[in-house]
Amino acid sequence: TLLLSSAGMVQFKPYFTGELRSPHPRLSSVQKCFRSTDIDEVGDRTHLTFFEMLGNFSIGDYFKKEAITWAWEFVTEHLNLSPERLWASIYLDDEEAAECWLTDVGLPADRLVRLGEEDNFWGPPGAEGPCGPCSEIHYDFGSEYGCGKITCGTPSCDCDRFVELWNLVFMQFYQHPGGERDNLPEPNIDTGMGLERAAAILQGVPSAYETDLFKPIVQRVEDLSNRQYGKDQDIDYAIRVVAEHARSATFLITDGVTPGNEGRGHILRRVIRRAVRFGRRIELDGPFLSKIAETVVEHMGRQYPEL
Ligand code: SER
């Protein structure tokens, strides 16, 4: 039902539905993901078309309590994030999840927020598939990153202060193309943490573009365009678009996609055209994207030899 893997759980769909038997009831992965739904946001600090998603999955095995307490243990004891910086959101009336956060984890009640379907109900990926209520761990970068509005101060504010670090989905339903939902054979867990966001938090920088994942690519765009990152908002935006799209196009091509008029090919063409359009804003001329692709290959080829 999808053109590209838009989430870490995509290849596990037949296990969630019971169509296939999973080789193991507990799985974890690092998954190359591609999303074009919010391509027009790419260039801001948080949206990416291509990203690496870290996830753990339960196929009818552990459920909410374990997913929540283990996620908390991972971020506070293994990533060593300061608990005071962390918030959790839950789906409106998910009392079971609230109980896990407040009682099992001991999260202070004023750092638990209840959000609606748009934020805390995930899926299905594509026209139909598994879905369910979710609970997210948000990281507070601090009030200096806030939008300054009187309502700012919790993850319900959609500004740069809070970043959604980890999404824990309680996969309970199968949604059909018409929107009706059936229970899945068993409740499952699907979690997803963006490596790029985790890296930004761990490296103490405001976005993925300042992390070691992106720095050499941004540097290459700076060199080719003779522009410096961090001096002018419009130029920074263009540099980010070019860096991100060069990276994502390189990965799509590596996985066998070629530019075209339909399907995956059309998505790749859109990415390349948008990169060129923003490249022109920083006076990049000629076939500059292939030069940036070389940097992507050099920089990420050890982890992804297929590049
Ligand atoms: N499927 C969920 C997401 O993409 C959690 O992995 O956010």
Distance 25 CA to ligand 1 centre (A): 18
Is the pLDDT at 205 greater than 90, yes or no? yes
Is there a contact between 26 and 61 (Cβ–Cβ < 8 Å)?
yes
Q: Give Cβ neighbours of residue 53 (< 8 Å, ≥ 6 apart).
A: 7, 8, 29, 30, 31, 33, 192, 193, 194, 195
Identify the pLDDT of residue 84. 96
pLDDT-wise least confident of 101-110, 121-130, 140-149: 140-149
Minimum CA distance residue for ligand 1 atom 2: 192
Q: What is the DSSP string of 281-298?
A: HTT--SSHHHHHHHHHHH
DSSP designation for 77: I
Determine if ligand 1 sits within 6 Å of the CB of residue 190: yes
Is the pLDDT at 1 greater than 80, yes or no? no
Q: How many residues appear in the chain? A: 307
Distance 219 CA to ligand 1 centre (A): 30
How far apart CA 204 and CA 136 sit, in angstroms, is 20
Tokens of 148: 């300054």
For residue 33, which atom of ligand 1 is closest to its CA?
A: 4
Return the best residue to mutate from 168, 175, 190 for the ligand 1 pocket (most ligand atoms within 8 A of CB): 190
Q: What is the mean pLDDT of the chain?
A: 95
Distance 134 CA to ligand 1 centre (A): 9
Q: Give Cβ neighbours of residue 72 (< 8 Å, ≥ 6 apart).
A: 105, 107, 137
Going by pLDDT thresholds of 50, 70 and 90, the confidence category of residue 158 is confident
Tokens of 5: 């893997």
Minimum CA distance residue for ligand 1 atom 1: 7
Q: Is the peptide bond before 124 cis (omega within 30 degrees of 0)?
A: yes
pLDDT in tens, 67-125: 999 999 999 999 999 999 999 999 999 999 999 999 999 999 999 999 999 999 999 98
Identify the pLDDT of residue 36. 92
Determine if ligand 1 sits within 6 Å of the CB of residue 192: yes
Going by pLDDT thresholds of 50, 70 and 90, the confidence category of residue 145 is confident
Determine if ligand 1 sits within 6 Å of the CB of residue 167: yes
Is the pLDDT at 291 greater than 90, yes or no? yes
Report pTM: 0.94
pLDDT-wise least confident of 72-81, 124-133, 215-224, 286-295: 124-133
Is the pLDDT at 149 greater than 90, yes or no? no
Distance 217 CA to ligand 1 centre (A): 26
Q: Torsion over CA of 247, 251, 253 and 254, rounded to 10 degrees?
A: 130
Return the best residue to mutate from 53, 119, 163, 195 for the ligand 1 pocket (most ligand atoms within 8 A of CB): 53
Mean pLDDT of 217-223: 98
Going by pLDDT thresholds of 50, 70 and 90, the confidence category of residue 189 is very high
Is the pLDDT at 244 greater than 80, yes or no? yes
Q: How do the residues of the chain divide into helix, strand and coil, expressed in percent and rounded to 5? A: 40, 25, 35
Give the residue among 94, 100, 173, 168 at the shortest CA–CA distance from 132: 173
How far apart CA 48 and CA 169 sit, in angstroms, is 21
Mean pLDDT of 247-274: 97
Q: Give Cβ neighbours of residue 44 (< 8 Å, ≥ 6 apart).
A: 237, 240
Going by pLDDT thresholds of 50, 70 and 90, the confidence category of residue 146 is confident
pLDDT in tens, 2-27: 899 999 999 999 999 999 999 999 99
Is there a contact between 253 and 275 (Cβ–Cβ < 8 Å)?
no
How far apart CA 111 and CA 95 sit, in angstroms, is 15
How far apart CA 302 and CA 4 sit, in angstroms, is 23
